[in-house]
Structure 1
Amino acid sequence: MLNVLANRVYRHLFFAQVIALVGTGLATVALGLLAYDIAGTRAGAVLGTALAIKMIAYVVVAPVAGAFAETLPRRAVLVTLDLVRAGVAVALPFVTDVWQVYVLIFLLQSASAAFTPTFQATIPDILPNEKEYTKALSLSRLAYDLESLISPALAALLLTMISFHSLFLGTVIGFVASAALVVSVLLPSPVAKERRGIYDRTTRGIRIYLATPRLRGLLAVCLAVSAAGSMVIVNTVVIVQSSFVLDQSATASALAAFGGGSMLAALVLPKLLERVADRSVMLAGTGLLIGGLLLTTGVASFPALLALWAVLGIGYSIAQTPSGRLLRRSAHTEDRPALFAAHFALSHAAWLLTYPLAGWLGATLGLTAAALALGVLALVGLVSAVLLWPAADLDELMHTHDDLLPDDPHWSEGHHHRRNRHTHGFVIDRLHREWPHSP
């Protein structure tokens, strides 16, 4: 897996991602503790609302950012957004009221909503080989998991020496270091084949996404992933510090268990995906999330919680890591920034539902009711994915063109059948606006 780091450009971007994620992870731990410091036992509700605001920023800003991703130099965009995030993070230690948390989270995550899709869409252009790109996806998942493992452990160590407010300094350092690494390389910026209006550029990614069956199934999987992830992220601090009456270090340890399980899954996924189809792997991971959520309703000890959080981490990684492969297959190179932005926005719309659901159900009806409701929601996601995503997910499809002239150059692509039919690698674009029905 690590041989993909021989590519200098990808290596710099990968380490930029790792450093920024560790800083973000410290801020995540600190934000949970800040919410508990301000709101006490209702910290889950406060944190759930704060994270819902984060999702609003993601859903609203990402498609607009994707519209401009093909017209602006990627390196300048990524560096500027890193510095903006660093500037906002400087203000977080000085928060004293809940409304201030909400405002700063919106500003910080608006910058992230523009940064992440641009970053993700750059990787397949740097690594066009599918095997290398799959390894990069697993490394990226591993980076997220290492953050989940290292950041809480590092936070637990630092909390023995400093106030949790000081953890936000790590976020600032992470974003500045990330910007420095991005500056050190040249990044490709695909040139659009045709000029498009702002409306077309803003909505194109979402139109491609919703017209592609495998991506509609992916969105349903994302609903299950967000249900499980919200239970862990929002309610871990309440479960550990209120239900089990343990300290902040135990909260960090529980989050680390979740990250450890996810990291374990990321290590085995590249080999697994060489033998098993993306659909089967992702649906299996979704089933694991459902089982874990339902078992959460009966967790009675801290060691049991650690084991269960590790299982949820495994399912979390298996269910979502291959998503980049699906996105890469489903669009032309010039459309990838818009499609990645659409996935970012639509998948986080699911978190917009599950974050406040996890927080407010936990605060009003109890943690058992929250876990049960989220488990049922994840089951809805699994059933929807099975129905929306065909098991025979082919790249090349036979389709018709009733509106093309016989001498149109497009007929030369793929294999031309009788009359107005031909077969080639199919994605939604200007000439293919609807997915073909099975013959």
Structure 2
Amino acid sequence: MPNCLSNPIFLRLYIAQTISLFGDALTWLGLALLAFELAGTDAPILLAGALTLRVTAFTILSPFAGIIADRFDRKPILIITHLGRMLLVCLLPFVNSIWQIYALVLGLNIFNAFFTPTYQATIPLVTGETDYPQAIALSSTTYQILGVFGPGIAGILALFIGARELFFWDGASFITAAILIATLPGNLRAIPTTQSRLVGNIRSDLQIGTVKLWTDSPIRYGLMMQLVASIVGAQILVNTVGYVRGTLNYTAVEYGWVMMGFGLGATLGTIAIGIYPQSRSKIITLLSGGAIVSTALIGANYVGLIPLILLWSIAGCGQSLINLSMQTLIADRTPTNLQGRVYGAHFAWSHLWWAGAYPLAGWLGTTFPDRTFLYGSLGGITLLSIVHFLLKPDRFTHTHSEYSHTHSHQHDLPHQHEHQTNLKSEDRLPDGTLARTTHQHPHLHPQFQHVHSYSDISHEHSGFH
């Protein structure tokens, strides 16, 4: 980590991102409290609608945001997205109707959809090839840490200054981050490419990524496990505020503690993925994550504050096991030249699951307020069973990128071809044709594959070129 932080441009960009992430924590905790204030027992419907708008904006706009980030200077994009969010969050304290919340949340996440991929693409640009893995790891770790402590800090602030006043602090965080980015020297323009991407090319790229997701059986299995995680996870994000504030009659501070528990569990799941042997089957990890997150909620409607924090920590761990395993599974099974398109398609499909899961959670929260977590858990367990028994692959092919090597190559008399280097005179017959000779030359394999069984004991290699 110290190597990447010694880069003054990345250091300033990283500080700006950290301040912005803390502002996001204030936004969503304040929004949940505001929804409960305006809608009371109907808060799950309001919160579900707001979160659905969030993931819808991400799904539709983020692929185009990546294209814009490759073509224009990224500094003004980052500044504008911060200033736009600052203006919108400072309007949230004055809302008095539900439609105003929906409009402001949609605007916030339009800016967010352009900020996130632009920032992610800027890290390698400012750090260079040597330090960018460290920089990405540091940014990811910071995101997880603020996911743990951000809601708790926001809950304490809300207790002293009020839920609506949180949004002014949020606005201050965004304008501070924008100022830091504006003081960066030079521009943040990517190296221009000689090939222009037309609309038809973009459409083709999206189709290629989607086809890979749905035709590769292990990736398809992981994508459906993410559907399980979204159905159960939406119950937590939508209905926790009503249960803690309404059923248990606690304050915003205790609500922050519960959501802090969910973030802590997600962080522990991330650590578990890091120390779990990578040679083991990711299918097992995906199944374990689905089982953990689905069963954690089954008794949540009947427990108090401390057991609820524990259950939410367990659920957060299950979420991380699924999501991070899916990320590495795509990297393992996709050639390098296709990974960008596959990750883009995965981003859209995984957010589409949440776009359906949030309204379902809102309906359960208002229709069955005393059993919402129970029904969400049973739905997740049912879907988990169907996915596992119908879609679990028994074997899969592990695909590597192309590689080049040198090996011996023998010619018989009928087999001739030209080489870049000249053969010795003794390798030719008197008439000038090649004699039988053994020599070495570079040889390129476009891809090679391993066919694995899930016993993790033996496997086959099937190279082709």
TM-score (norm 2): 0.75
Q: 1:372 — aligned with what?
A: 378
Highest relative contact order (Cα 8 Å, sep 6+), 1 or 2? Answer: 1
**Paired residue for 1:355?**
358
Change beyond 3 A, Cα 1:384–1:314: farther
Residues 157-306 of structure 1: pairs in structure 2 closer than 5 A? 157-183=156-182, 184=184, 187=188, 189-192=190-193, 194-201=195-202, 204-205=205-206, 207-212=208-213, 213=216, 215-272=219-276, 276=280, 280-296=284-300, 299-306=302-309
Provide the C-alpha distance between the structure 1 equivalents of 2:172 and 2:443, rounded to a whole number of angstroms. 51
1:45 partnered with 2:45: yes
CA 1:17–1:352 in structure 2 vs 1: closer, same or farther (change >3 Å)?
same
Tell which deviates more after alignment, 120-129 or 361-370: 120-129
Aligned residues: 409
Inter-partner Cα distance in structure 2 for 1:193 and 1:326: 32
SS at the partner of 2:90? Answer: helix
Query: In the TM superposition, what is the alpha-carbon distance from 1:208 to its structure 2 partner?
Result: 2.1
Residues 85, 111 of structure 1: 8 Å contact kept: yes
Q: Give the match's secondary structure for 2:303.
A: coil
Question: Which residue number corresponds to residue 444 of structure 2?
Answer: 415
Root-mean-square deviation (Å): 3.7
- Match of residue 117 from structure 2: 117
Aligned mates of 2:124, 2:116 — CA distance in 1: 14
Higher helix share: 1
Give CA-to-partner distance per residue, 1:50-71, whole Å, 9 cap, x none.
2112222222222332343322
CA distance in 2, matches of 1:140, 1:381: 33
What residue is the counterpart of 1:30 in the other structure?
30
Deviation at 1:111, TM superposition (A): 1.4
Give me the whole-angstrom Cα distance separating, in 2, the residues matched to 1:9 and 1:273.
35
Contact 1:209 1:215 in 2 (8 A): no
Larger Rg: 2
Partner of 1:310: 313
Residues 222 and 320, structure 1, Cα contact 8 Å, conserved in 2: yes
Q: Provide the secondary structure at the position in 2 that maps to 1:393.
A: strand
Q: Give 5+ residue unaligned stretches, structure 1.
A: 399-405, 417-421, 427-436
Aligned match of 2:399 in 394, 399, 419? 394
Question: Does the Cα contact within 8 Å between 2:70 and 2:189 map onto a contact in 1?
Answer: no
Q: Which deviates further from its counterpart, 26-35 or 190-199?
A: 190-199
Normalized per residue, which structure has more strand? 2
Letter in 2 for 1:61: L
5+ unaligned residues in a row in structure 2: which ranges? 404-416, 419-440, 451-461
Which residue of the partner structure matches residue 409 of structure 2? none
- Cα-to-partner distance string for 1:69-101 (whole Å, 9 max, x where unaligned): 322223332222222222211211111100111
Q: Deviations over 1:292-328 (max 9, x none)?
A: 233546x422221111001111122232235555566
The answer on whether the counterparts of 2:294 and 2:381 sit within 8 Å (CA) in structure 1 is yes
Q: For 2:73 and 2:391, how far apart are their aligned partners in 1?
A: 36
Instruction: Please give the secondary structure, in 2, of the residue aligned with 1:220.
Output: helix
Query: Deviation per CA, 1:356-414, whole angstroms, max 9, x where unpaired?
Result: 11111121133122332244345556667744x9644322489xxxxxxx99xxxx997
Cα pair distance change 1:57/1:49, threshold 3 Å: same
Give 1:122-161 correspondences, 5 Å limit. 122-123=122-123, 133=133, 139-161=138-160
1:102–1:382 distance in 2 versus 1, CA, 3 Å: farther
Whole-Å separation in 2 of the counterparts to 1:46 and 1:171: 21
- Seq. identity, %: 26
Contact conserved, 2:26 with 2:166, CA < 8 A, in 1? yes
Q: Is the contact between residue 225 and residue 319 of structure 1 (CA under 8 Å) also seen in structure 2? A: yes
Query: Do the aligned residues in 2 keep the contact of 1:78 with 1:118 (CA within 8 Å)?
Result: yes
SS of corresponding position for 2:91? helix
Residue number in structure 2 paired with 1:55 = 55
**In the alignment, is the contact (CA less than 8 A) between 2:295 and 2:377 conserved in 1?**
no
Instruction: Specify whether residues 45 and 304 from structure 1 end up closer, same or farther in structure 2 by C-alpha distance, changes over 3 A only.
Output: same
Task: Indicate the SS of the match to 1:165.
Answer: coil
Quote how far apart the aligned CAs of 1:269 are: 3.7
Higher mean alpha-carbon deviation, 181-190 vs 249-258, is at 181-190
The equivalent of 2:81 in structure 1 is: 81
- Residue type of the partner of 1:196? R
Change (3 A) 1:378 1:63: farther
Amino acid at match of 2:199: I
**In 2: Cα distance, 1:206 partner to 1:82 partner:** 32
Query: How far is 1:249 from its partner?
Result: 1.6
2-side partners of 1:116 and 1:383: how far apart? 36
Deviation at 1:115, TM superposition (A): 1.9
Deviation at 1:34, TM superposition (A): 0.7
